[in-house]
Structures are given as structure tokens and as C-alpha cells.
């Protein structure tokens, strides 16, 4: 039994759940539309270019969590799941996860997107283990700060190493599926790196290394 690790955004999902959550908040009038949308887009462009200031982005993206009540957040997230996320879950992605499940592999999602957004999405895929960026919670309320290491770039490796030690697991025979060059630190650690509809930088790296390329979300 090996570990099968999946990135979430633009890998298992045919879209970016973090960016789309921001757009969803704008569309519902929960944040200042013009200012929030432009800033959200700028951070997303920085992410794709590999120059994202993760702490600045998390301060921005988690700020709405501090202003909305628990009940309102739950209501919004339920609507977000129905309207935005469910259409992004493809049969091919579900089949990929199920293939590893049938093999008896341990399934794990690892994502930079925060735990509030991603925990219900992991449930859709039937994946119990989730490593995501953790928002700080004090007295039942989000503070807007990060708890621990953000699950981004080298941070994914740090978080995974801690998880492996905690669960008495290792990377022997491990798989990791990702679309982004931001995940190269982890892709180079596993036995079976698989690139999924990759960005141009990761596509070139995969070709140079002879890594397999998988299409889940387009017709290439």
C-alpha cells in the first residue's frame, strides 16, 4: 500500500477553489467588489508566475472569515459547493481517485488553499486525509492569521514530512499529482510524479525529466 497524494486546484478540480471563493464572495456582495476582485486577480496571477507572497495573500483571503458569523460562513460555503464546486468535479478525476482507492493506497490531498474552503471538497472525493493551510481560530472565531506553516511550495514538503511521522508512513512507492510548477519541491520527492494539465513551466520540466502527463480537464 502506497501513498497517493493529490493537489486540489486545477488538478482534482477543474478550477481554483481559492480564487473562485473570492469571486463568489464578490458576486454575493460579501466583500467590496471592485477592490477585492482586482486584488484577488493580482494574487492569482502572482501564484501562476511563481512569485506569490503567501503571507500577504493569506492575510487578504482570510480576512472575510473574521467578519462573517459561523452560521453565515456555513450558509455561504454550502451554496458555494452546490453552485461553484460541484460542476468542477469531473468523472475522470473521481475515477483517478477511485483507481488508487481500489489499489489500497492511502489517499491524501495537499493544497495551499485554506482548510475552511477545502475540507468539504475533500469529502466530495471521499478523501479522509487533508493537508491544507490552517487558519488560526481562537475562541471559535477566525483571527485572519495562519496557524503553523502555510501548505505552499516548500511548505508542502514540511507539512507532509510532519504528517508522515505522525502517521508512521513513508514515501516508498508514493504518487503525487499536480498541475503547478509551485509543487516542484514535492514532485521531486515522490517515486511517481504525475503532471496533470500542467502550466507551461511544469510541462517543460516534466518533458525534460520524462515524467508522465495526464489530462483530466481539457481536450489536448
| Those residues with Cβ within 8 angstroms of residue 164's Cβ, 6 or more apart along the chain or in another chain | 170, 171
Sheet containing strand 175-178, strands side by side: 141-147, 129-138, 106-114, 3-6, 175-178, 192-196, 213-214
The secondary element (H helix, E strand) that includes residue 56 is helix 54-67
Question: 82: closest CA among 137, 49, 121, 34?
Answer: 121
Whether 7 is catalytic is yes
Whether 9 is catalytic is yes
* Grid cell digits, residue 7: 493537489
Among all residues, which ones are annotated catalytic? Answer: 7, 9
Amino acid at each position: 500500500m502506497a501513498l497517493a497524494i493529490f493537489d486540489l486546484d486545477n488538478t482534482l478540480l477543474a478550477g481554483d477553489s481559492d480564487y473562485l471563493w473570492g469571486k463568489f464572495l464578490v458576486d454575493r456582495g460579501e466583500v467590496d467588489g471592485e477592490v477585492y476582485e482586482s486584488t484577488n486577480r493580482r494574487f492569482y496571477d502572482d501564484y501562476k508566475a511563481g512569485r506569490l507572497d503567501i503571507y500577504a495573500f493569506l492575510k487578504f483571503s482570510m480576512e472575510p472569515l473574521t467578519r462573517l458569523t459561523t452560521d453565515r460562513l456555513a450558509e455561504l460555503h454550502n451554496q458555494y459547493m452546490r453552485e461553484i464546486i460541484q460542476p468542477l468535479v469531473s468523472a475522470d478525476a473521481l475515477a483517478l481517485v477511485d483507481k488508487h482507492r481500489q489499489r489500497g493506497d492511502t489517499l491524501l490531498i495537499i493544497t495551499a488553499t485554506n482548510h475552511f474552503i477545502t475540507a468539504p471538497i475533500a469529502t466530495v472525493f471521499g478523501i479522509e486525509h487533508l493537508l491544507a493551510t490552517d487558519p488560526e481560530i481562537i475562541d471559535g472565531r477566525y483571527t485572519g492569521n495562519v496557524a503553523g506553516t502555510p501548505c505552499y511550495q516548500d511548505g508542502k514538503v514540511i507539512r507532509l514530512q510532519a504528517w508522515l511521522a505522525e502517521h508512521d508512513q513513508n514515501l516508498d512507492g508514493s504518487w503525487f499529482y499536480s498541475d503547478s510548477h509551485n509543487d516542484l519541491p514535492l514532485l521531486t520527492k515522490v517515486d511517481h510524479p504525475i503532471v496533470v494539465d500542467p502550466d507551461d513551466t511544469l510541462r517543460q520540466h516534466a518533458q525534460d525529466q520524462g515524467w508522465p502527463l495526464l489530462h483530466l480537464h481539457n481536450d489536448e
